[in-house]
Amino acid sequence: MNLLDVSTPAALIDENRMLRNIARMQQRAHALGVRLRPHIKTSKCLEVARRQQAAGAAGITVSTLKEAEQFFAGGYPDILYAVSIAPSKLARALALRRQGCALSIVVDSMAAAQAVVDCGRAEAHAFDVMIEIDCDGHRSGVSPEHAELIEIGGLLHRNGARLRGVMTHAGSSYDLDNPQALERLAEQERSRCVRAAERLRAAGLPCAEVSVGSTPTALSAANLRGVTELRAGVYVFFDLVMANVGVCALSEVALSILTTVIGHQAEKGWVIVDAGWMAASRDRGTQRQNIDYGYGAVCDLDCNPIEDFILSGANQEHGIMSRRDGRAPDAIGSAIGCATACATGQAGIVERFPIGTRLRVLPNHACATGAQFPEYQVLTAGDSAPALQTWSRFYGW
Amino acid sequence: MNLLDVSTPAALIDENRMLRNIARMQQRAHALGVRLRPHIKTSKCLEVARRQQAAGAAGITVSTLKEAEQFFAGGYPDILYAVSIAPSKLARALALRRQGCALSIVVDSMAAAQAVVDCGRAEAHAFDVMIEIDCDGHRSGVSPEHAELIEIGGLLHRNGARLRGVMTHAGSSYDLDNPQALERLAEQERSRCVRAAERLRAAGLPCAEVSVGSTPTALSAANLRGVTELRAGVYVFFDLVMANVGVCALSEVALSILTTVIGHQAEKGWVIVDAGWMAASRDRGTQRQNIDYGYGAVCDLDCNPIEDFILSGANQEHGIMSRRDGRAPDAIGSAIGCATACATGQAGIVERFPIGTRLRVLPNHACATGAQFPEYQVLTAGDSAPALQTWSRFYGW
């Protein structure tokens, strides 16, 4: 079995690259003196999580209760469900906890805290709860300075829930692209979450855990004083968005789409491949970044980028591969003569990428691209020639 | 079981709306004197296809061989695989045909035609083949005037393949938004595909089938003289992109996402819901259209749009619902006084959409949103109160 025998499109993991990414983040957490709780929403794959655990991760973070259920069944009892809980989901969370899952849930409002308290009282159950802190105005969470923070903590603590601590996510880090700004945001994420913890403790409330993280801030923090755990997800694969943010190189991206050339529109410089948006996802996360990769960066079978070829367009099952600068190599070729064109690397795309050619495409956003596939094809790590394995992943809620 | 008991996020089908959409397209095909071969890539669901078949559809169109396999197993033997075949997929297509599936494959180049001929010869098998025509420069296909068209037809016909006809797809119709332009493009799609058929026939080659279609052109064609069959997919659900194109009303969109309010950022006018991009997909198809709906248009539980509330932002499992014009209702409310605010419909979003509130979100692109879900929850048709059914769908390749 090799890459020429795999049915396309396929989601390929380069395990060597992935293991290096896992080791890098684990070393960061160790150096910063915190536990690492990887966010498995990126892979939704037990085999990937096993490698994170083997490297030293402590527990996992999930984005859905289905992830919690699947990973608890797969041997991961220590789980943080990092999305503010909907009252209608409490019964399902409770069922998991009664099976022995150490599931922590999250709230960021009095209304949600009240729902947790009410359910806990009705069911005679003490939920483990974290309060989400807004550290950067990105999305959810209560301000570390807001009176409601103490009210939420008090409501939980005095009514039978176990207040475990505070958590935040500096999601706005995805909009940055220089190390100084990233380090500043990492410090803001740390300091605001720690500040929230201090306010809770000063009010006489327990707050053992201080959990922060996003892949860019995790890799940029100068220190994490007062923090107990780090959460990050996409680092396990990395992607083009992270490369533009500046926290990885293209050669570290461990997920790619294997695709096959199925046609050409030579005069336009288009190669048609069998990876459209159903494979790549509709994520255009690089659209407003320094380098817009369209729907992905095109690589050869060894995962080396081919000049500036990208998936410039995507229909459901058709991808359009062309140069990022829009030049049609064939048109240039015929204008300046074939010998010159070939010598300058502008040879006709029909000859260069004939029908049946296999290529790999680096994704804009590994979480979104992975989600399009029922399984990964894995180029396994090791000294010998890599073998191919299939690792399943799941979807849905 | 009602909508308050369904786990969220969920993909909801309104069967009454869907049946009206199916009837409308079937009546169009009948009036235009052509067969309708629905593209089931939109739903990937046998229950949906059964209703299209019951209304009079003849065969189906698919975008992947997995769709072909699943639907053949589900009782649909007449299948057009409408993506130019990769040579490495011929063995799988052949396996289906040897099981009795009347699968037609598509080519748009000499290289692909040669691969079909070579495989047919090696396997002593006559493939049914259509030639894809480029009618609008959108994507794939051979020009109707190009010499290669006759060469491809000749290569297939003289080397053991069955040349069934020509097919085209005016995908650029998604970029239009007025009836006159749509009717012109429909005529271009028709005339260029018919022209290709006439050229093949004039060269002594068989060309029984002339297959055209996209939802917008199918609903806009004045006539389909010379055409034998119409293909369309997204009409079964419709979506916001189609509403902007002008071929459906919002009240005809049959697919929505059921979601639950999980938080607020009141001063920003944000309601946080549990439908992020994992539910909505990353499709931003309305971004460059007349009305940009963000990640979807927010509706009440009866699927009536709520003013101009949209999903203005989406993370993996968080959606940010706010007004399309960016006004923060709470800010307005506190500026002009609550009584006035309530009277003008600008009441605070926390009171108006409390945590636990159920909402529905119309998708930009039904094909992309549906693909995020393992199943549909269906509000079934009928005179009595609608019941809820679960219909499964599949994914992958």
Q: Do A368 and B274 touch (CB under 8 A)?
A: no
On the question of pLDDT at B73 being above 70, the answer is yes
Average of per-residue pLDDT across A8-16: 98
pLDDT at A27: 98
Take residue A177 and report the two structure tokens written for it.
């692209």
Average of per-residue pLDDT across B114-143: 98
- Per-residue pLDDT band for B160 (boundaries 50, 70, 90) equals very high
Partner residue opposite A140 with nearest CB, options B112, B318, B367 = B318
Average of per-residue pLDDT across B88-114: 98
CA distance, residue B392 to nearest chain A CA (Å) = 12
Cβ proximity of A60 and A76 under 8 Å: yes
- Per-residue pLDDT band for B331 (boundaries 50, 70, 90) equals very low
pLDDT at B343: 39
HSE on the CB side for B280, CA within 13 Å?
A: 35
Q: Do A284 and B283 touch (CB under 8 A)?
A: no
Cβ proximity of B127 and B105 under 8 Å: yes
Between β-strands B375-379 and A297-299, what pairing exists: parallel, antiparallel or unpaired? Answer: unpaired
User: Residues 6 or more apart from A175 whose CB is under 8 A from it?
Assistant: none
- Residue B84's SS3 state is strand
Q: Do B115 and A368 touch (CB under 8 A)?
A: no
Same-fold call for A33-236 versus A254-392: no
Take residue A226 and report the two structure tokens written for it.
């007062």
Taking the C-alpha atoms of residue A320 and residue A302, their distance in angstroms, rounded to an integer, is: 21
From the candidates B264, B278, B295, B376, which should be mutated to test the interface with A, based on the most A CB atoms within 10 A? Answer: B278
State the helix-helix crossing angle for B46-54 and B65-73, rounded to 10 degrees.
Answer: 70
User: Residues 6 or more apart from A69 whose CB is under 8 A from it?
Assistant: A96
User: Residues 6 or more apart from A250 whose CB is under 8 A from it?
Assistant: A240, A243, A297, A305, A362
Taking the C-alpha atoms of residue A186 and residue B383, their distance in angstroms, rounded to an integer, is: 58
Taking the C-alpha atoms of residue B286 and residue B363, their distance in angstroms, rounded to an integer, is: 10
Say how many Å lie between the first and final Cα of chain B, rounded.
Answer: 33
Instruction: Please give the single-letter amino acid code of residue A192.
Output: R
Q: pLDDT per residue over A308-353, tens digit each?
A: 999 999 999 999 999 998 765 444 444 444 444 443 344 599 999 9
- Among A238, A244, A270, A262, smallest CA distance to A370 is for A238
ipTM above 0.90, yes or no: yes
Take residue B150 and report the two structure tokens written for it.
């006759």
Q: Which helix (H) or strand (E) holds B121?
A: helix B110-123
The dihedral through the CA atoms of B291, B295, B296, B298 has a sign that is negative
Cβ proximity of A130 and A211 under 8 Å: yes
Average of per-residue pLDDT across B253-280: 97
Instruction: Give me the helices (H) in B168-305, please.
Output: 179-202, 215-218, 240-245, 277-280
User: Residues 6 or more apart from B380 whose CB is under 8 A from it?
Assistant: B15, B386, B387, B388, B389
Contacts of A112 in chain B (CB under 8 A): 262-263, 355
Contacts of A282 in chain B (CB under 8 A): 281-284, 365, 368
Q: Which of A114-123, A339-348, B224-233, B369-378 has the lowest mean pLDDT?
A: A339-348
Take residue A250 and report the two structure tokens written for it.
């293209």
Fold of A33-236: TIM Barrel (3.20.20)
**B25 vs A112, B18, B191, B214, B304, CA distance in Å?**
46, 11, 21, 11, 24
- Say which CATH superfamily domain B254-392 falls into: D-serine dehydratase-like domain (2.40.37.20)
CA distance, residue B192 to nearest chain A CA (Å) = 17
Q: Do A86 and B274 touch (CB under 8 A)?
A: yes
**B389 vs A17, B13, B44, B47, CA distance in Å?**
44, 10, 16, 11
A102 burial level (CB within 10 Å; 0-12, 13-18, 19+):
middle
On the question of pLDDT at B335 being above 50, the answer is no
User: Residues 6 or more apart from B156 whose CB is under 8 A from it?
Assistant: B107, B113, B116, B117, B129, B131, B162, B163
pLDDT at A382: 80
Average of per-residue pLDDT across B77-87: 98
- Residue B82's SS3 state is strand
pLDDT at A331: 45
CA distance, residue A323 to nearest chain B CA (Å) = 16
Q: pLDDT per residue over A114-132, tens digit each?
A: 999 999 999 999 999 999 9
On the question of pLDDT at B374 being above 70, the answer is yes
Q: Do A315 and B87 touch (CB under 8 A)?
A: no
Q: What is the dihedral of CA B374, B380, B381, B384, to 10 degrees?
A: -170
Contacts of A63 in chain B (CB under 8 A): 278, 316-317
Average of per-residue pLDDT across A78-105: 98
Which 3-state string (H, E, C) describes chain A?
A: CCCCCCCCCEEEEEHHHHHHHHHHHHHHHHHHCCEECCECCCCCCHHHHHHHHHCCCCCEEECCHHHHHHHHHCCCCEEEEEEECCHHHHHHHHHHHHCCCEEEEEECCHHHHHHHHHHHHHHCCCCEEEEEECCCCCCCCECCCCHHHHHHHHHHHCCCCEEEEEEECCHHHHHCCCHHHHHHHHHHHHHHHHHHHHHHHHCCCCCCEEEECCHHHHCCCCCCCCCCEECCCHHHCCCHHHHHHCCCCHHHCCEEEEEEEEEEEHHHCEEEECCCHHHHCCCCCCCCCCCCCECCEEECCCCCEEEEEEEEEECCCCEEEEECCCCCHHHHHHHHCHHHHHHCCCCCHHHHCCCCCEEEEECCCHHHHHCCCCEEEEECCCCCCCCEEEEECCCCC
Cβ proximity of A107 and A84 under 8 Å: yes
- Per-residue pLDDT band for B327 (boundaries 50, 70, 90) equals low
Contacts of A367 in chain B (CB under 8 A): 316
Taking the C-alpha atoms of residue A42 and residue A48, their distance in angstroms, rounded to an integer, is: 10
Cβ proximity of B322 and B271 under 8 Å: yes
A249 burial level (CB within 10 Å; 0-12, 13-18, 19+):
exposed
Q: Which of A255-264, B126-135, B230-239, B339-348 has the lowest mean pLDDT?
A: B339-348
Partner residue opposite B263 with nearest CB, options A84, A318, A356 = A84
Taking the C-alpha atoms of residue B141 and residue B85, their distance in angstroms, rounded to an integer, is: 12
pTM of the model: 0.95
- Residue B123's SS3 state is helix
**Can you name the residues that pair with A36 across neighbouring β-strands?**
A230
The dihedral through the CA atoms of A197, A201, A207, A208 has a sign that is positive
Take residue A161 and report the two structure tokens written for it.
């829930």
* All structural domains of chain A with their residue ranges: 33-236, 254-392
Between β-strands B305-314 and B255-265, what pairing exists: parallel, antiparallel or unpaired? Answer: unpaired
Taking the C-alpha atoms of residue B347 and residue A333, their distance in angstroms, rounded to an integer, is: 63
Q: Do A87 and B134 touch (CB under 8 A)?
A: no
Q: B163-186 burial, b if ≥16 CB within 10 A, otherwise e?
A: bbbbbbbbbbbbebeeeebbbebb
**Can you name the residues that pair with B209 across neighbouring β-strands?**
B165
In A, minimum Cα distance to B88 occurs at A356
Q: Do A88 and B396 touch (CB under 8 A)?
A: no
Contacts of A368 in chain B (CB under 8 A): 277, 282
* DSSP classification of residue B359: E
CA distance, residue B270 to nearest chain A CA (Å) = 9
- Among B102, B351, B307, smallest CA distance to A109 is for B351
From the candidates B265, B351, B357, B372, which should be mutated to test the interface with A, based on the most A CB atoms within 10 A? Answer: B265
CA distance, residue A6 to nearest chain B CA (Å) = 9
Cβ proximity of B77 and B101 under 8 Å: yes
Partner residue opposite B281 with nearest CB, options A108, A282, A365 = A282
- Per-residue pLDDT band for B330 (boundaries 50, 70, 90) equals very low
Cβ proximity of B308 and B324 under 8 Å: yes
Cβ proximity of B57 and B38 under 8 Å: yes
Cβ proximity of A224 and A230 under 8 Å: yes
**Can you name the residues that pair with A392 across neighbouring β-strands?**
A375
Classify the phi-psi angles of B266: left when phi > 0, otherwise alpha if psi is within -120 to 50, otherwise beta: alpha
pLDDT at A366: 98
Average of per-residue pLDDT across A47-71: 98
Take residue A44 and report the two structure tokens written for it.
């939704």
CB atoms inside a 10 Å sphere around CB A56 = 15
